[in-house]
Amino acid sequence: MIRSVGHVSAMSPYALAQLKPPQGKSLISLSQNESLRPPSPLAIDAAAKALEAGHLYPDPDWRDLRVALSGLHGIPAEGILCGCGSMELISCLAHAFADEKNAALAPAHAYPFFRTAAKIARARYDVAPEKGGRVSVDALLAAVRDDTRIVFVANPGNPTGTRIARAELVRLREGLPADILLVIDEAYGEFADHLGEPMFDLVGRGDTVVLRTFSKAYGLAGMRVGWGLFPPEIAREVRKVMNPNNITTAGQAAAKAAVTDQVYMRETCRETARLRDGLRQRLQQAGLNVPESFTNFILIRMGSFDAAHDADEALRSEGVVLRPQGGAGLADCLRATIGVTDHIDIAAGLLERWAGKENI
Ligand SMILES: Cc1ncc(COP(=O)(O)O)c(C=O)c1O
Cβ(162)–Cβ(291) below 8 Å = yes
- When pLDDT is averaged across residues 5-16 and rounded to a whole number, the result is 87
Q: What is the pLDDT of residue 359?
A: 62
Q: What is the pLDDT of residue 133?
A: 85
The model's confidence at residue 11, banded by pLDDT at 50, 70 and 90, is: confident
Q: Measure 187 CA to ligand 1 centroid, in angstroms.
A: 6
Q: Is 86 in the pocket of ligand 1 (CB under 6 A)?
A: yes
Q: Which residues pair with 182 in a beta bridge?
A: 151, 208
CA-proximal residue: ligand 1, atom 7 (nearest): 86
Q: Is 116 in the pocket of ligand 1 (CB under 6 A)?
A: no
| Residue 222 identity | G
* Beta pairing class for 148-154 and 103-107: parallel
pLDDT in tens, 333-351: 999 999 999 999 999 999 9
Percent residues over pLDDT 70 in the chain: 99
Q: Which atom of ligand 1 is nearest to the CA of 33?
A: 14
Q: What is the pLDDT of residue 15?
A: 81
Q: What is the pLDDT of residue 341?
A: 97
**Hey, where are the domains in the chain?**
15-38+263-358, 41-260
Q: Is the pLDDT of residue 23 over 90?
A: no
The phi and psi torsions of 154 (rounded to 5 degrees) equal: -105, 135
Q: Is 31 in the pocket of ligand 1 (CB under 6 A)?
A: no
**What is 41-260's CATH number?**
3.40.640.10
Q: What is the pLDDT of residue 289?
A: 97
Q: Is 85 in the pocket of ligand 1 (CB under 6 A)?
A: yes
Q: Which residues pair with 59 in a beta bridge?
A: none
Mutate to test the pocket of ligand 1, among 32, 87, 91, 323 (most ligand atoms within 8 A of CB): 87
The model's confidence at residue 16, banded by pLDDT at 50, 70 and 90, is: confident
Q: In whole numbers, what is the pLDDT of the chain averaged over residues?
A: 96
Q: Is 219 in the pocket of ligand 1 (CB under 6 A)?
A: no
Question: Domain 15-38+263-358 adopts which CATH fold?
Answer: Aspartate Aminotransferase, domain 1 (3.90.1150)
Q: What is the pLDDT of residue 360?
A: 55
pLDDT in tens, 154-198: 999 999 999 999 999 999 999 999 999 999 999 999 999 988 888
Q: 328 burial class (0-12, 13-18, 19+ CB within 10 angstroms)?
A: buried
Q: Is 296 in the pocket of ligand 1 (CB under 6 A)?
A: no
- When pLDDT is averaged across residues 127-155 and rounded to a whole number, the result is 97
pLDDT in tens, 234-270: 999 999 999 999 999 999 999 999 999 999 999 999 9
Q: Is the pLDDT of residue 319 over 80?
A: yes
Q: Which atom of ligand 1 is nearest to the CA of 111?
A: 1
